[in-house]
Amino acid sequence: MNAKELIEQIKNGDDKVRGAAWQAAGNAGSTAVRGLAELMFTGEQEVARAAKRALWKIVRYAGRPAGGDETKAVAKELVPLLASGDPNVRREFVWMLSEIGDIHAAPMIALLLNNPNLREDARAALQRIPGDTSLRSLKVALKNGAEDHKPAIAESLRVRGEKVKDFPNQKLVPRKQTAVKNPLAV
Amino acid sequence: MKPELTKTTRRSFLKTTGVIAGATTLGLPQIVSPRVFGANNRITLGHIGVGGMGGFHLREMVKRMGSGEVNIAAVCDADEKRLANAWKTAGAQAEVYRDYRYLIQRKDIDAVVIGTPDHWHAVQMVHAAECGKHVYVEKPACCTIEEGKAMIAAATANKVSVQVGSQGRSQPEAYAAHRYIASGMLGKVNKVTCWHYPSPSDDKPVADSAPPPELDWDLWLGPLAWRPYNARYCHGTFRWIMESGGGQIRDRGAHVMSNAMYFMNADHTGPATIEAKGTVPAKGLWDSAMEMEVTYQFKNPDWTLVWSQPGEKIPYFDETRKKKEGIRDGYGAVYHGDKDKLIVWVGDNQVYTEPKAVEFASKPGGVDVYKSPGHHDDWFNGIKTGKKTIMNIEAAVAVSNLTVLGNMSLILDRKLKWDHAKSEIIGDTEAHRMMSRPQRYPYVL
């Protein structure tokens, strides 16, 4: 199935046509990325969902051991999509890039560390993407980023093998109080 | 055929079932220092996640509170309606918490029971262990390979007793089946085939919405990436979403395949290859496989484990007993040996097998295997004596890894190679990266 055929079938009103299309989307390749992304931003609920799943299929097919440069081609199409639009859609692109692990995606992802809706996804992606660029981005964020996000950044750096003295892990710090009143009280 | 029971040595059993050294059937090794409790030897508990199976465990422990075995000091849930109900169940002596971190830091609590959705199991178990608590955690143990490694490391470093809720191993007829197989009655077992009815699809998807006022959505999501609330996520339906529930394979697979690994004495082993095929829902939020088949090939010794949804269902043979006891024969497994085969039905809080194994187990002499006093009691023994539990964390992670790898092979649509000694996928960079998934701060391992 080529990209044009895939997009048309994803837009189809019949669940069965859409479902079969996204499940067979893997080899549609990088040329389908932009069209599917457009449907993720603008399509009605199930069309957008089918487009998202088709795009994940493409990402995972491209990453197969014999995939060669296909992952780079897919990553190259995904990176510009990080720039604007619904953060709930862009979040998917961040995670796709984290799974591809393309080092060239790191600078654009690093910009999202300043976005309150996406900074945790960006941190997670930079933790996961190998290489110096992602590591350097985390170090810069620890120095210049939002103060309340620094403990999270520090944790990612520790996972990457860096020694970070400040910002101890807050994972065991309780934060949330219950409003439940004792139902057994007289 | 008359069994020569006294001639069946442990060595021959290992050879028969193809077991790697290190796994034991009778003498579970000691892993933690026996702990001294109060004069009454009573264990003080906290319950984290009190709906679904968490609610079941709470009710069970309330029964034991009456006999003085335990004290329930605290209950915790991210859903305040569930929390209020749990307080009524637990009694006025219990404190209530929305945030489990208050609970695990209480010095007076010895142990915790975790009954939250799967995506919380590893983080909460690790945190509880780091606070020195013994842990009963629902199955499956983990959602990623790295989570499993962290759980084992935390239990070992903090010397706590962990029991994972694959309670099939503790059922009386599981003992019978285990003993029958261990005694060589099937000959060399070279294949285990599991059957299970399919996962559902969501035929009436709904739009994202605001969460209900009683639910702390941020806390429910915990380690998962942020996303808007959708009514199809929870409560029980988390099971049908890949990242939080993983479908039937991660739910009942953690029961049926737990028994398979135990009976095959394969807890400390893993497959060499994993290959899955399946179909997922065409629409809706739920994305775990409706139907699937996963083939796990074990090497040295060679045997094959097959998980099938639906597979070939074998109805339980005794209709009268089935109706009387409510036997759910929609899932089970067949153990294929070179001399005979054995059917084991269900696999969780019910386990049933064929009369030949049940009757065999009641005979004196011969190879014996560990007989659990019950899953909760086995955990209490672990806490008090330091002995490994029947579903200890190493065994549970090995089983969870089967389910994780099966789902991973399905979504990647390719065969995976696994190095069990290193606990890692080999020859596939993308799949290797998927062995872990960074968690949302501060809900991290």
pLDDT tens-digit readout, A151-178: 999 999 999 999 999 999 999 999 999 9
Neighbour count for residue B248 (Cβ, 10 Å): 26
Output the CA–CA distances (angstroms, integers) from residue B143 to B206, B249, B265, B433, in the order listed: 26, 12, 23, 14
Asked which of B134, B168, B202 is the last residue of a domain, the reply is B168
pLDDT in tens, B135-149: 999 999 999 999 999
Residues of B in contact with A178 (CB under 8 A): 80, 83, 96-99
User: Which B-chain residues 89-128 have CB contacts (< 8 A) with chain A?
Assistant: 91-92, 96-99, 101-102, 104-105, 123, 127
Q: B163 with B142, same domain?
A: yes
B11 lies in a domain?
no
Could you tell me the CATH number of the domain that includes residue B268? 3.30.360.10
* Per CATH, domain A1-70 is 1.10.1060: no
Over 50: is that where the pLDDT of B20 sits?
no
Q: Which residue of B has its CA nearest to A128?
A: B438
In sequence order, the β-bridge partners of residue B308 are B195, B293
Q: B326 with B424, same domain?
A: yes
Neighbour count for residue A179 (Cβ, 10 Å): 10
| Residue that wins the pLDDT comparison between B429 and B5 | B429
Report the number of distinct structural domains present in chain B: 2
Q: B161 with B233, same domain?
A: no
B17/B192 Cα distance (integer angstroms): 12
| Mean pLDDT, rounded, for B294-306 | 97
pLDDT in tens, B86-125: 999 999 999 999 999 999 999 999 999 999 999 999 999 9
A75-89, B32-46, B379-393, range with the lowest pLDDT: B32-46
Over 50: is that where the pLDDT of B25 sits?
no
**Confidence band for B1, pLDDT divided at 50, 70 and 90:** very low
Residues 6+ apart with CB under 8 A from A44: none
Q: What is the DSSP letter of B409?
A: H
**A184·B91 Cβ contact <8 A:** yes
Asked which of B147, B168, B189 is the last residue of a domain, the reply is B168
Over 60: is that where the pLDDT of B3 sits?
no
Q: B218 with B280, same domain?
A: yes
Residue B62 touches chain A, beta carbons under 8 Å: no
**B282·A64 Cβ contact <8 A:** no
Query: According to the model, what pLDDT value does residue B361 have?
Result: 82
Give yes or no for a contact between B98 and B78, defined as CB atoms under 8 angstroms apart. yes
Q: B234 with B103, same domain?
A: no
Q: B150 with B245, same domain?
A: no
Residues of B in contact with A172 (CB under 8 A): 101, 104-105, 127, 130-131
Could you tell me the CATH number of the domain that includes residue B82? 3.40.50.720
**Which pTM does this prediction carry?**
0.94
CA atoms within 13 A on the CB side of B397: 22
A7-16, B28-37, B431-440, range with the lowest pLDDT: B28-37
Q: Which residue has the tokens 């996303």?
A: B227
pLDDT in tens, B329-376: 999 999 999 999 999 999 999 999 999 999 998 788 778 999 999 999
Residues of B in contact with A99 (CB under 8 A): 430, 433-434
Over 60: is that where the pLDDT of B22 sits?
no
Residue B69 touches chain A, beta carbons under 8 Å: no
Q: Is B322 exposed, middle or buried, given 0-12, 13-18 or 19+ CB atoms closer than 10 A?
A: middle
Query: According to the model, what pLDDT value does residue B29 have?
Result: 64
Query: Which of B80, B88, B412 is facing A178, going by the closest CB pair?
Result: B80
Q: Is B32 helix (H, G, I), strand (E, B) or coil?
A: coil
Residues of A in contact with B207 (CB under 8 A): 45
Over 70: is that where the pLDDT of B18 sits?
no
B360 lies in a domain?
yes
Please provide the DSSP assignment of B380-395 as one string: HHHHHH-BPPTT-HHH
User: Which B-chain residues 180-219 have CB contacts (< 8 A) with chain A?
Assistant: 205, 207, 216, 219
Query: Which of A57, A156, A176 is facing B216, going by the closest CB pair?
Result: A176
B281 lies in a domain?
yes
Q: How far is B87 from chain A (nearest CA, A)?
A: 7
**A46·B283 Cβ contact <8 A:** yes
User: Which B-chain residues 261-280 have CB contacts (< 8 A) with chain A?
Assistant: 279-280
B427 lies in a domain?
yes
Query: According to the model, what pLDDT value does residue B17 have?
Result: 44
Query: Which of B80, B413, B434 is facing A180, going by the closest CB pair?
Result: B80
| Mean pLDDT, rounded, for A41-57 | 97
**A185·B226 Cβ contact <8 A:** no
**B441·A151 Cβ contact <8 A:** yes
Q: B95 with B229, same domain?
A: no
Query: According to the model, what pLDDT value does residue B32 have?
Result: 66
B91 lies in a domain?
yes
Tokens of B357: 């194994």
Query: Which of B98, B207, B284 is facing A176, going by the closest CB pair?
Result: B98
**B438·A156 Cβ contact <8 A:** yes
**B283·A26 Cβ contact <8 A:** no
Start-to-end Cα distance in chain B: 53
Q: B298 with B335, same domain?
A: yes
Q: What is the mean pLDDT of chain B?
A: 92
Q: B343 with B409, same domain?
A: yes
Question: What is the ipTM metric for this complex?
Answer: 0.96
Query: According to the model, what pLDDT value does residue B34 have?
Result: 56
**A88·B227 Cβ contact <8 A:** yes
A77-81, B169-173, B365-369, range with the lowest pLDDT: B365-369
Nearest one of B129, B108, B137 to B43, comparing CA atoms? B108
**B225·A63 Cβ contact <8 A:** no
Q: B163 with B295, same domain?
A: no
Task: Give me the percent of chain B exceeding a pLDDT of 70.
Answer: 91
Query: According to the model, what pLDDT value does residue B84 have?
Result: 96
Query: According to the model, what pLDDT value does residue A181 have?
Result: 85
B220/A129 Cα distance (integer angstroms): 27
Over 50: is that where the pLDDT of B232 sits?
yes
**B430·A178 Cβ contact <8 A:** no
Asked which of B168, B190, B206 is the last residue of a domain, the reply is B168
**A124·B439 Cβ contact <8 A:** yes
Q: Is B171 exposed, middle or buried, given 0-12, 13-18 or 19+ CB atoms closer than 10 A?
A: buried
| Mean pLDDT, rounded, for B52-69 | 96
**A155·B444 Cβ contact <8 A:** yes
B9-18, B208-217, B386-395, range with the lowest pLDDT: B9-18
Give yes or no for a contact between B176 and B353, defined as CB atoms under 8 angstroms apart. yes
B282/A18 Cα distance (integer angstroms): 7
B7 lies in a domain?
no
Residues of B in contact with A45 (CB under 8 A): 205, 207
Start-to-end Cα distance in chain A: 69
Query: According to the model, what pLDDT value does residue B2 have?
Result: 35
**Confidence band for B40, pLDDT divided at 50, 70 and 90:** confident
Nearest one of B154, B69, B48 to B380, comparing CA atoms? B69
| Mean pLDDT, rounded, for A135-153 | 98
User: Which B-chain residues 350-409 have CB contacts (< 8 A) with chain A?
Assistant: none
Query: According to the model, what pLDDT value does residue A185 have?
Result: 63
Choose from A178, A184, A186 for mutation: most chain B CBs within 10 A.
A178
Query: Which of A99, A152, A174 is facing B99, going by the closest CB pair?
Result: A174
Domain that holds residue B104: 25-168
pLDDT in tens, B234-262: 999 999 999 999 999 999 999 999 999 99
Q: B258 with B206, same domain?
A: yes
Residues of B in contact with A159 (CB under 8 A): 438
**B80·A156 Cβ contact <8 A:** no
Query: According to the model, what pLDDT value does residue B8 have?
Result: 35
**B442·A171 Cβ contact <8 A:** yes
Q: B141 with B277, same domain?
A: no
Query: Which of A16, A45, A56 is facing B207, going by the closest CB pair?
Result: A45
Query: Which of B87, B282, B433 is facing A15, going by the closest CB pair?
Result: B282
Q: How far is B232 from chain A (nearest CA, A)?
A: 14
B381 lies in a domain?
no
B280/A24 Cα distance (integer angstroms): 12
Q: Is B220 exposed, middle or buried, given 0-12, 13-18 or 19+ CB atoms closer than 10 A?
A: buried
